Structure 1
């Protein structure tokens, strides 16, 4: 079901956040416009992530994100949904706790003029296997490919426990404030990949250097 009014009920977390971070007005409106322009300009950004992306496995294993063919990850063609577009399987099939945390963070980020987009979320096993097969062809061996793409059995995307957020300003906001919601950056070389790894207000584990780390 598509949430048409995600700002109707702001989370209690927003009340606890610094008033300086919640300032709205003309400055915030300008940021919204710039963020929208950035989103259009970087729509193909996932393709550039292929050489460093990570698809976190179960526990905190290796893996990574190689960009999917358009539409293969159950995302709408030609646009990236918000965390409230649950009619798309990539969003609607995320772990319920993870989805709730991302939606709460998205509401609060909008107070700062930041718009979250889901660049990758839940993936089918078949889609994950295609990504792995493509990585083997790209990197020349299964061993090298596993530095970037996990198997369907271990992928946190397949289990719905990982979400990739864009654009870059949203990633930066979530890296700074994600622990307020229990959301943590998993890899230093993947600013877009988040998982629910702590309780709201808790301490996130230190990010791994990369998917092999």
Structure 2
């Protein structure tokens, strides 16, 4: 078997996993109906995803943002991560691969909402922590993590991201990338899931 078809098949499988994970994690709005999030303050309680706004880093289900968009999900990212993504995106463009995000920086209240939804979905905090971290442990809240939108971008980053410092951190989240490569551009083996570290 040639390597290219195998990589394509693996990328397709990653997309299915990504979509199933995002349906719970980033896709909570779908379960609560459509609606435009309002712009409440960080102290307001969240009862549904429609209580989240752009100021929380919220990106509505089905939407994506570009690395150049002037939205908090992008502008609140750690500058080193943003620079690494921009450099990788420029290189990926030569291969006709475009980077877009379904998640970037998130407010603590948004992260708590996602964790609470995962607890409801999975039945326990322990099981939920395999997919979503609590706010005080989340790299998204620190602006140090992004969730990439498409299978071709995930595949490209898995093959070449280390050259830019970008690594897939969790084996069960093909879409989640952080800075993690060593000086030689080598990424560590992915952790089993987010409860592992």
Q: TM-score, normalised by structure 1?
A: 0.66
CA contact (8 A) 1:83 1:103 kept: yes
Q: CA deviation at 1:195?
A: 0.4
Q: 1:200 to 1:84 in 2, by over 3 A?
A: farther
Is 2:176 the counterpart of 1:193?
Answer: yes
- What's 2:120 paired with? 137
Q: What CA deviation, in whole Å up to 9, does each residue of 1:69-105 have, x standing for no partner?
A: 27644336763111121x1111111000001000110
Higher relative contact order (CA 8 A, sep 6+): 1
Q: Please show how residues 27-176 of structure 1 align to structure 2 within 5 Å.
A: 48-50=20-22, 65-69=25-29, 72=52, 73-75=57-59, 79-85=63-69, 87-176=70-159
Q: CA deviation at 1:200?
A: 5.9
Q: RMSD in angstroms over aligned alpha carbons? A: 2.7
Q: What CA deviation, in whole Å up to 9, does each residue of 1:46-73 have, x standing for no partner?
A: 652258x8xxxxxxxxxxx453427644
CA contact (8 A) 1:182 1:198 kept: yes
Consecutive unaligned residues of structure 2, counting only runs of 5 or more, are 1-11, 31-36, 38-51
CA contact (8 A) 2:180 2:187 kept: yes
- What's 1:184 paired with? 167
- What's 2:42 paired with? none
Q: CA deviation at 1:211?
A: 2.4
CA contact (8 A) 2:163 2:185 kept: yes
For this pair of structures, how many residues does the alignment match? Answer: 159
Which deviates the most, 154-163 or 72-81?
72-81
Consecutive unaligned residues of structure 1, counting only runs of 5 or more, are 1-37, 54-64
More helix by proportion, 1 or 2? Answer: 2
Q: What CA deviation, in whole Å up to 9, does each residue of 1:111-151 have, x standing for no partner?
A: 10001111110001111111111111111122222222111
Q: TM-score, normalised by structure 2?
A: 0.71
